[in-house]
Structure 1
Amino acid sequence: MKHTLTDLLTDAVRTALTELYGADAQNQEITLQTTRREFEGEFTVVTFPLTRLAKKKPDVIARELGEYLKGNVSEVADFNVIKGFLNLVVADAYWKDFVLAAPQSGDFGQAPANGEKVIVEFASPNTNKPLHLGHIRNILLGWSTSQLLQKAGYDVKNVQIINDRGIAICKSMLAWQKFSDGATPASTGSKPDHFVGEYYVLFETKFREEYLAWQQSEEGKTFFKKSAKEGLSAEKFFASYKPKYFNEYSKLGAEAKEMLLDWEAGDAQVVALWKKMNGWVYEGFAATYTALGVHFDKLYYESNTYKLGKDMVELGIEKNVFRTRDDGSVYADLTDAKLSEKTLMRGDGTSIYITQDLGTARLRYDDFGATRMIYVVGDEQNHHFATLFELLKRLEEPYAKGLYHLSYGMVDLPTGRMKSREGTVVDADDLIKEVIHEAGLASADRAATEGLSPQEQREIVRQIGMAALKFHIIKVGPQKRMIFDPKESVDMQGQTGPYVQNAYVRTQAVWRKAGSDVDVSTAADYVDLAAAERDLASKLYAFPELVKLAAETYDPSLIAMYCYDLAKGLHKFWHDHSILSAETPAAVAFRLQLCRAVGHTLKGGMNLLGIDVPPRM
């Protein structure tokens, strides 16, 4: 037997073409698709590309191929033809043998190790604020992508680069220094990263207050009069001239910039404050990562990497890939790649953000030897990564062909875009608490968890809540911008994580009820499968190939929707067919084994998304 059923059917079609039409069909491309739901069958052969070889009409070819396959291939029980499409009905015996074999293992769908190393970068927050809903989408997408790649046979390392330096960090530091009166996370009972984030928001508040006072000054009135003639309101004025005001007029802005210069110069007091406040943030981040069920193999810090890349710029100059301007700055002309001219080094010898990224890519290659690097970053950075990858390609870096920007759409609220400076974000920790609370309310009247300890019941509620949150986000394709409604996310019905979890719970409950007296070996005697059993078997068969496709396309939403579809099939089967009271012992045994196979696959699929499935709910 061939490695897969699709391989077997594809080769059988080629053999049929040779025998029926006397043509060498070994190199003929065969298009085999999943049969549409409204037609009988599991696989469809598209015959239109075969007309030149067979010299017959598509519907004639389909009928002749169908007759041949039905008569010569034991795995094909029947066929039907719809306008030149040959729908093949797979034999019950094949589906029965399949269900009783591969899906019974917990590692169903696991590809063998291929020896290729992959780095997945995700999260990568700033240390001036806590994690929010946008970070959650990034983290869940990055984590599930790394799990998919592992399932597909890759050696995966999860990394992040923490943006722990710069003017935004100094704003939080300055606000704490000026307005905290020595308060700490411990003295206020605050989660440490939330504590620091409050001072980032406070800086913005004080900055606006300073601006409003300046606006009433003679200097401000003169400046504002000119802008008013241009038709700008006070709010639009502030939005348009904020950078200019910050850099040229603001006392707070001047202090923040001075603090940044002191940090870069290694001022002992500033560095000590920076370490203390960043330490608070890291403690808070760690708690949120634990709640989300993710971890990293290595952390990179911008404070350690921002000077990297200068050697690569020098190498680019030597290779004549980069050029030097009259002012001493270095740039790359990427216009032939439909990108803009990119500065890589300022005239004073200082580097910029993309210079750091060049060096960090090389550093990671040196650390892990990975030939593929996946950057999980929002789509507002599309141009940046296109430029970075082109630069590394021209530098002939050994990993340049394996770079990929997993670009995803931003998350908006029903009220509009989130803004960290104004505190209008959905905080990650608050959201986690909310979905768990809602899960508790939905589970309050259920008797299924009676007899479990309070701790076990709380853990099940946590798993249900986290499934609601994670599935709601992951089921949306990465490239799509999404509007996140917190109320909708905790809906326990419909196309949700808890709906899938409930299907898994049913597969466990039926085995508990069956006990240990069932002779599962009699499942081999089961003969005629019901339509719902065939449907579940074909869905199970699709799982390994779907894992491969989702890994290749970096799209965990494919697995989310697969799990939902499989769960829906299980629920329908559960409703329409008896399991423990089936008509024969063989039917009981087979259906129990079918439930086990579905349970293993649901658990494996949901685990790829970072979602736990409880045994009861």
Structure 2
Amino acid sequence: MKHIRETWKVTVSEALGAMAREKGLDIATTVDNLVLETPPKPEMGDMGFPLFVWSKAFRMGPPQIAIALAERLAGVGPGTAKAIGPYLNIFLDRAAVARTVLDKSSRPGYGSSGSLAGTRIMIEFSSPNTNKPLHLGHLRNDVLGESVSRILRANGAEVLKINLINDRGVHICKSMLSYMAYGGGRTPQDEGKKSDHFVGDYYVKFNELKMADEAAEEKAQDLLVRWEAGDAQVIDLWKHMNEWAVSGIKTTYERTGISFDKYYYESQIYLTGKEEVQKGLANGAFFKAEDGSVRIDLSPIGLDEKVLLRKDGTSIYMTQDIGLAIHRHDDWPFDRLIYVVANEQQYHFKVLFHILERLGYEWAKNLYHLSYGLVNLPEGRMKTREGTVVDADALLDTLRDTALEEIQAKGREEALGDAADIAEKVALGAVHYYLIQATPSKDMIFNPQESLSFNGDTGPYIQYMGARISSMLRKRDKGEGKASDGLVRPDLLAKDAEWELVRRIAAYPEAVEQAGAEYNPAVVAAHLYDLASAFSRFYHDNPILNSDDPDTAATRLALADSVRNVMKHGLGLLCIPFLEAM
């Protein structure tokens, strides 16, 4: 549909220009000056150009301009132009459009484009700490980063997904100190516990340790100093606990369909950036304060000063990120680097990007912070050390078990085969869709019951619609209904009910392109929900497989199959399993 709209915009723009020249008027009639809308009712056409803004320039009323344009455009363009009040409305040749849409949407990869072909995009997301398992907040980060990556690839970009594992720091040492106090040499295998949860338990226990030992915070800091000094005993414990944590976290990634092309580890790169800061000090980008620290003046971006090296010469997190960004560009020269990080870090990235520009790196202008809102519980914010987080694995287990109970209650176990696997995929659909349906910048309150609903704007609802169509196709293949005896006739899709689905299928590639341009998977989610809802209405009001006319049955089923193809492709972009049966 996009190319049809663009064609009509050019056609109408040229017609307006010709009218202006005939009247001896100097009027800029470019495509950018035209507004194209969708009429509120099908009987008013498929596209409409409001002409109010041209009235003064042409010294004509909008209805008169519409009439003049309609006469001029008779027989021109893909469809028919008609004057309807102050609008020039376009009535498309629905049968011709439907034929093209059915053909294109039946091909593998429908929805993908080359809009970002030749663009190299690096995207960093997840970045977990190795002192705890993933929680609900991580899931939002993960599915946002993964789905944006898939959408960018669908638009032709070359994408490198990276993950910075935060495996050092005092927070890591707190879980280590707790283990030293309470662990007794036990392993995850000894306790039969998933390894990242085993480590996380000791991070939570640090609160208990602080109550028993007032010097616990100081001891954790001392443990970090010993780690940085290479203390063999500390390093050995650190390696074991990090291996446990990372192994468990990667198991959750595998479960949720999240993957990465490259891992970075903070322990290996935390000293990077110091040399760059010294270069900036030498060339005047930074300055040395009276206390001996190295700082940058941020007044050009409306901020104060930022310390980059402490007075004792040690680095801070910003220093590390400066060096890491440079290293990444050297490692894999990108056209854009996207950081998927919560909106709490907006200041950090604003400063980081400014620093890199001050250091003279041209590519710094292509860095982007994909900021997303926090995920809260109905009772407030999640806090790991207080044990109030929604654990990712436990959440998925609960949703899976609830979905399985629903399957069992409906007596669908035998029909589905591996009901537990279906329930697991429904759980993933519930969580991922719920977390991604909102625009990334918005905070959200997660409601497990709502996410698992089979009605309304949810992942399971869309999964169910896809499974329903798959069921009809299987029945057709078994000889049920009259579709096998009929011919697919696009002219039968010109009616309003069928045409609504044709339009939504045709608009899907544009939704994918828009989502890629905005780094916003919610655009795809909204399109899938609207398509699923439209199909549900159509299915309710119109017999498909059992239509009395074989050609109508075959044509409607072909249309349903195109809906299914869009759903399958779109759910894949959102990291949601498509289900053939539910």
Q: Given the two structures, how large is their TM-score scaled by the length of structure 2?
A: 0.93
CA contact (8 A) 1:95 1:534 kept: no
Residue equivalent to 1:50: 54
CA contact (8 A) 1:471 1:560 kept: yes
Residue 18 (1) aligns with residue 17 (2): yes
CA contact (8 A) 1:99 1:593 kept: no
CA contact (8 A) 1:149 1:551 kept: yes
Residue equivalent to 1:354: 318
**Residue of structure 2 aligned with 1:307, choices 235, 250, 271:** 271
Match of 1:493, SS state, is coil
Residue equivalent to 1:170: 173
CA contact (8 A) 2:227 2:235 kept: yes
Residue equivalent to 1:364: 328
Displacement of 1:585 in angstroms is: 3.7
Displacement of 1:51 in angstroms is: 3.3
1:31 aligned partner, one-letter code: L
* Cα distance change, pair 52–154 in 1 and its aligned pair in 2 (3 A): farther
CA contact (8 A) 2:407 2:419 kept: no
Residue equivalent to 1:227: none
Residue equivalent to 1:408: 372
* Cα distance change, pair 459–80 in 1 and its aligned pair in 2 (3 A): farther
* Cα distance change, pair 106–34 in 1 and its aligned pair in 2 (3 A): farther
Displacement of 1:25 in angstroms is: 6.2
Displacement of 1:119 in angstroms is: 0.9
Query: Equivalents in 2 of 1:408, 1:557: separation in Å?
Result: 12
Of 262-271 and 37-46, deviating more is: 37-46
**Residue of structure 1 aligned with 2:156, choices 153, 157, 163:** 153
Displacement of 1:12 in angstroms is: 1.6
Residue equivalent to 1:107: 109
Query: Equivalents in 2 of 1:266, 1:432: separation in Å?
Result: 39
Displacement of 1:346 in angstroms is: 1.5
Residue equivalent to 1:294: 258
Match of 2:66, SS state, is helix
CA deviations 1:139-160 (Å, max 9, x no partner) are 1111111111111111111111
Of 251-260 and 137-146, deviating more is: 251-260
* Cα distance change, pair 73–503 in 1 and its aligned pair in 2 (3 A): farther
CA deviations 1:103-156 (Å, max 9, x no partner) are 111211211361111111111011111111111111111111111111111111
CA contact (8 A) 1:309 1:356 kept: yes
**Residue of structure 1 aligned with 2:547, choices 563, 576, 582:** 582
Residue 185 (1) aligns with residue 183 (2): no
CA contact (8 A) 2:111 2:509 kept: yes
CA contact (8 A) 1:74 1:91 kept: no
Query: Equivalents in 2 of 1:159, 1:290: separation in Å?
Result: 15
Displacement of 1:52 in angstroms is: 4.9
**Residue of structure 2 aligned with 1:501, choices 447, 463, 466:** 463
Query: Equivalents in 1 of 2:54, 2:228: separation in Å?
Result: 69
* Cα distance change, pair 527–259 in 1 and its aligned pair in 2 (3 A): closer
Residue equivalent to 1:6: 5
Match of 1:144, SS state, is helix
Query: Equivalents in 2 of 1:607, 1:17: separation in Å?
Result: 43
CA deviations 1:332-371 (Å, max 9, x no partner) are 1111211221111112221111010011111111121112
CA deviations 1:167-192 (Å, max 9, x no partner) are 11111001101111222111111111
* Cα distance change, pair 65–447 in 1 and its aligned pair in 2 (3 A): farther
Q: How does 1:529-544 map to 2 (within 5 A)?
A: 529-544=494-509
* Cα distance change, pair 99–188 in 1 and its aligned pair in 2 (3 A): same
Residue segments in structure 2 that go unaligned for 5+ positions in a row:
none
Match of 1:407, SS state, is strand
Q: Given the two structures, how large is their TM-score scaled by the length of structure 1?
A: 0.88
* Alignment: residue pair count: 573
Q: How does 1:38-437 map to 2 (within 5 A)?
A: 38=41, 40-69=44-73, 71-73=74-76, 75-77=78-80, 79=82, 81=84, 84-112=86-114, 114-210=117-213, 250-437=214-401
Query: Equivalents in 2 of 1:342, 1:511: separation in Å?
Result: 62
Residue 523 (1) aligns with residue 488 (2): yes
CA contact (8 A) 1:75 1:94 kept: no
CA contact (8 A) 1:579 1:588 kept: yes
Residue 471 (1) aligns with residue 433 (2): yes
Residue equivalent to 1:228: none
CA contact (8 A) 1:66 1:86 kept: yes
Query: Equivalents in 2 of 1:521, 1:152: separation in Å?
Result: 36
* Cα distance change, pair 398–5 in 1 and its aligned pair in 2 (3 A): same
CA deviations 1:74-107 (Å, max 9, x no partner) are 532464636x344433221233222222111121
CA contact (8 A) 1:99 1:594 kept: no
Query: Equivalents in 1 of 2:538, 2:4: separation in Å?
Result: 24
* Cα distance change, pair 268–126 in 1 and its aligned pair in 2 (3 A): same
Query: Equivalents in 2 of 1:596, 1:286: separation in Å?
Result: 36
CA contact (8 A) 2:273 2:322 kept: yes
Percent of matched pairs sharing the same residue: 39
CA deviations 1:264-315 (Å, max 9, x no partner) are 1000000010000000001110111011101111111111111001122122
CA contact (8 A) 2:465 2:532 kept: yes
Residue segments in structure 1 that go unaligned for 5+ positions in a row:
211-249
Match of 2:368, SS state, is strand
Displacement of 1:58 in angstroms is: 2.7
Match of 1:522, SS state, is coil
Match of 1:381, SS state, is helix
CA deviations 1:487-508 (Å, max 9, x no partner) are 3222232111111112111222
Displacement of 1:253 in angstroms is: 1.8
Query: Equivalents in 1 of 2:57, 2:552: separation in Å?
Result: 45
CA deviations 1:19-52 (Å, max 9, x no partner) are 4443676635243444154564332323233335
* Cα distance change, pair 25–253 in 1 and its aligned pair in 2 (3 A): closer
CA contact (8 A) 1:138 1:376 kept: yes
**Residue of structure 2 aligned with 1:592, choices 521, 546, 557:** 557
Displacement of 1:327 in angstroms is: 3.4
Query: Equivalents in 2 of 1:449, 1:180: separation in Å?
Result: 43
**Residue of structure 1 aligned with 2:570, choices 605, 611, 614:** 605
CA RMSD of aligned residues (A): 2.2
Residue equivalent to 1:219: none
